[in-house]
Structure 1
Amino acid sequence: MDRTEPVTLTNMCMIVKDKKILVLNRNDPNWPGLTFPGGHVEDHESFYDSVVREVKEETNLTIENPRLCGLKQFYDDNDHRYIVFFYTATKFKGQVKASDEGDLTWMTKQELLNTQLAYNFDRDLLVYFDDKIDEHLLDGARDQLF
């Protein structure tokens, strides 16, 4: 029995400074709205290296010691597994500079929770903000947190 399957690997990072969170207002027509910076893991790239690279590309910041805090998984339109590794970072170098991905804004947690977010991102935030939750699973009609 083959135990492999097609999978897309991605990441997202919540960057925190002085009780404010860096938020990306995505231009992507497939998933527009407020979210955190991140992107795809390249072939043979470590998850750690990919989140550092993606954050640099989208924010101009070089994050230090990003910490894995959870993940989300779902199946895409081709029935391939799609995994998003959730990271947090509190140390970084550089000055924030927006990219083609969208505008960047520093927000408090409360401001973020009271703003229009990208589709289903409110559920992702539960993984970031609740230490008892480390996985968001979307599978058909199921939308579960573990």
Structure 2
Amino acid sequence: MSRREPVTLTNMCMIKNKDKILVLDRNDPVWPGLTFPGGHVEEHESFHDSVIREVEEETGLTIKNPKLAGVKQFYDQENHRYLVFFYIATKFEGQVQESNEGKLTWMTKDELLNSKLAYNFDHDLPVYFDETISEHMLDGKRDELF
């Protein structure tokens, strides 16, 4: 039995500015709706560096000291594991600049929770907002928070 498996590595970052959160309204036809900026980890790139790069590409902001909040894992159509490292950043430089990923908006937590979110993103949010939860596992048979 092999201890190796194909894995896709990605990240997502909740950027906070006082009581506001930067939200991305994705125009991706596969996963549209509100979510946080993020993307794929490149070969030989640290998770930390990848979230800084992805946030800058999608928002124009350079985040400082992003903190790992937790992780989501699920299996894709090919039954390969897909990991999303969830980060929170409260310090950043620059001006918000939209990319082709979608529209950016600053929202309160309540506004976010009462908006049209990307599919299943509401199940990810407890990892960001509840310090006792650090993992969201989704595998077709279960949808659990740990």
Query: What's the TM-score, normalizing by structure 1?
Result: 0.99
Unaligned 5+ runs, structure 1: none
**Alignment pair present for 1:58 and 2:58:** yes
Cα deviations by residue, 1:20-65 (Å, 9 ceiling, x for unpaired):
0000000111110000000000000000000000000000000000
Q: Residue 141 of structure 1: CA displacement?
A: 2.6
The number of residues matched between the two structures is 146
* Aligned AA (1:113): L
| Percentage of matched positions with identical amino acids | 74
**Alignment pair present for 1:77 and 2:77:** yes
Question: In 1, Cα distance between the equivalents of 2:69 and 2:100?
Answer: 27
- Superposition RMSD on alpha carbons, in Å? 0.5
Q: Deviation above 3 Å: which 4+ runs of structure 1?
A: none
Q: How does 1:26-105 map to 2 (within 5 A)?
A: 26-105=26-105
Q: Residue 143 of structure 1: CA displacement?
A: 0.3
Cα deviations by residue, 1:86-106 (Å, 9 ceiling, x for unpaired):
000000000001000000000
Q: Which residue number corresponds to residue 14 of structure 1?
A: 14
* Aligned AA (1:68): L
SS in 2 for 1:119: coil
* Aligned AA (2:114): N
Unaligned 5+ runs, structure 2: none
Q: Residue 18 of structure 1: CA displacement?
A: 1.8
* Aligned AA (1:145): L
SS in 1 for 2:63: strand
Q: Residue 2 of structure 1: CA displacement?
A: 1.4
Q: Which residue number corresponds to residue 132 of structure 2?
A: 132
Q: Which residue number corresponds to residue 4 of structure 1?
A: 4
Question: In 2, Cα distance between the equivalents of 1:67 and 1:123?
Answer: 20
SS in 2 for 1:53: helix
